[in-house]
Amino acid sequence: MISVEDWALIRRLVADGVPQRQVARDLGIGRSTVARALSCNRPPRYERPAVATAFKPFEPLVAQLLSVTPDMPATVLAERVGWTGSITWFRDNVRVLRPLHAAVDPCDRLVWLPGDAAQCDLWFPPYRVLLEDGTTALLPVLVITCAYSRFILAVMIPTRHTADLLLGMWELLTQLGAVPRRLMWDNESGIGRGKRHAEGVGAFAGTLATTVQRLKAYDPESKGVVERRNGFFETSFMPGREFASPADFNSQFAAWLTIANARVVRTTKARPVDRLEADKAAMLALPPVDPALGWVNRVRLGRDYYVRVDSSDYSVDPAVIGRFVDVSADLSRVSVRHQGRLVAAHERVWARGMTITDPAHLAAAKVLREQFQQPRPPLPQADQELVRDLAEYDRAFGLTDGEVA
């Protein structure tokens, strides 16, 4: 068999007018080989003749099982058909047959209308961010991408809890200045599971007059716009960067998104900032009243005068020990009120298991403790004179000295 280079050389020489006999003599090959090279319009390729393999007798049985159960593991198939040879060789052959019997799930090309939808997702940057207690953690970044314009908004949040997810969504929608008619999520536990939204998600959607749509499983096409952006972040934003804190991350990311939103998107052939106005014009307006969001709890303040938000404890004015207090927190602040009066205000920490103490609360607790430990004053003299003489009871019942009732 001649090589592809010789085949090409033979055809070129004969085309230039060189006789076939001279070509055969110059290349040291037979004239029949030259004739075959000229008659063949495709480059020569070695093809091994097909022969029956050890898997061939088992192929009908494997195909029958796959037609009923396409996802049956190869090890189970080997057991069912009685295969005793190499399991690796068996897996290779099953891998060829399986797509022929898999159910077909076609997907349509999606067309996104202006203002119709925004895709939401959590991205976990491959970088451990430094927290307040000196530890580091992989924190989620909430990403919202407008489906029509491809405009990206994102912010790092402390947890995947529903309260933080809704706070992050509201912050990004406030930056956008409008509300898409659909906010699309995958099966995120903080948004909902099964057929029910998580607590607070329905009220949030109702206040914004929008729809929080949770996609069914195995539907990557419906949320591919935002997921492709997550991969874009890791290759274009993350390399070579360092972050001193979550606030530093958000600052750098916001600056970079300004550049990213001004780049031409390959699929739309336009820049997101150029399509944003048309997208926002078809969206809903922000509600006149802000939705009730954040961590909210009502507890009776215990003797240790601390309340818990997420996993950290925050001190409260000990003067309201034993009374009910209302605890609220957003992404940056923790506030505690008693009958509307502010009794504690702290910066929220993102580290876990921390104890945050206000020095004023500590000093007030010391004063109250010293007052409680002081001995009680004696009864006034006027109260001591109120003690009744027991002989008056004898006279009231007509008893004289020596008589026993």
118-140: per-residue pLDDT in tens?
Answer: 999 999 999 999 999 999 999 99
Mean pLDDT computed over 79-90: 93
DSSP codes of every residue in 87-132: HHHHHHHHHHHHHHHSPP---PPP-PPTTTEEEEEEE--SSPEE-T
DSSP 8-state code for residue 179: B
Mean pLDDT of the region 70-77: 93
Within 8 A by CB and 6+ apart from 186, the residues are 121, 214, 215, 223
Q: What is the pLDDT of residues 193-212, one digit of tens each?
A: 888 899 999 999 999 999 99
Q: Examine the pLDDT at 402 and tell me if it is beyond 70.
A: no
For residue 308, give the amino acid letter. R
**Closest listed residue to residue 296, CA positions, set 219, 207, 374, 199:** 199
Using left for φ > 0, alpha for ψ between -120 and 50, and beta otherwise, residue 337 falls in: beta
Nearest to 330 by CA among 348, 351, 355: 348
Backbone angles phi and psi of 299, in degrees to 5:
-135, 160
For the chain, give the number of residues: 405
Residue 385 pLDDT grade (very low, low, confident, very high; cuts 50, 70, 90):
low
Query: Structure tokens of 292?
Result: 């009730």
pLDDT of 223: 83
Q: In a 3-state reduction of DSSP, which class is residue 380?
A: coil
State pTM to two decimals.
0.73
For the segment 206-234, the average pLDDT, to the nearest whole number, is 88
Distance, CA of 171 to chain centre: 17
Whether 302 has a pLDDT exceeding 70, the answer reads yes
**Residue range 36-56: average pLDDT?**
83
> Over the chain, what is the mean pLDDT?
90
**Helix-helix angle 20-27:31-39, to 10 degrees:** 110
The contacts of residue 34 (CB under 8 Å, 6+ apart) are 10, 14, 20, 23, 24, 27
Of the pLDDT bands very low, low, confident and very high (cuts 50, 70, 90), residue 37 is confident
What does the pLDDT average to over 93-101? Answer: 91
Q: How many CB atoms lie within 10 A of CB 370?
A: 9
CA–CA dist 70, 61 (Å, integer):
13
Q: How confident is the model at residue 380 (pLDDT cuts 50, 70, 90)?
A: low
pLDDT-derived band at 381 (thresholds 50, 70, 90) equals low
Query: Is a pLDDT exceeding 90 seen at residue 392?
Result: no
CA 313, CA 306: separation in Å to the nearest integer? 6
Dihedral, CA atoms, 359, 365, 369, 370, nearest 10 degrees?
50
Q: Which residues neighbour 188 within 8 Å (Cβ) at sequence distance 6 or greater?
A: 122, 160, 165, 214
Helix ranges (H only) for 82-238 are: 87-101, 162-176, 201-208, 224-236
Q: Is 209 left (phi over 0), alpha (psi -120 to 50) or beta?
A: left
Q: Are 334 and 314 in contact (CB under 8 A)?
A: yes
Q: Which two tokens stand for residue 24?
A: 């055969």
Highest mean pLDDT among 17-21, 143-147, 215-219, 391-395: 143-147
Q: Is residue 159 scored above 90 in pLDDT?
A: yes
Position 101 pLDDT exceeds 90: no
CA-to-CA distance for 249 and 98, rounded, in angstroms? Answer: 46
Q: Please give the pLDDT value at position 105.
A: 73
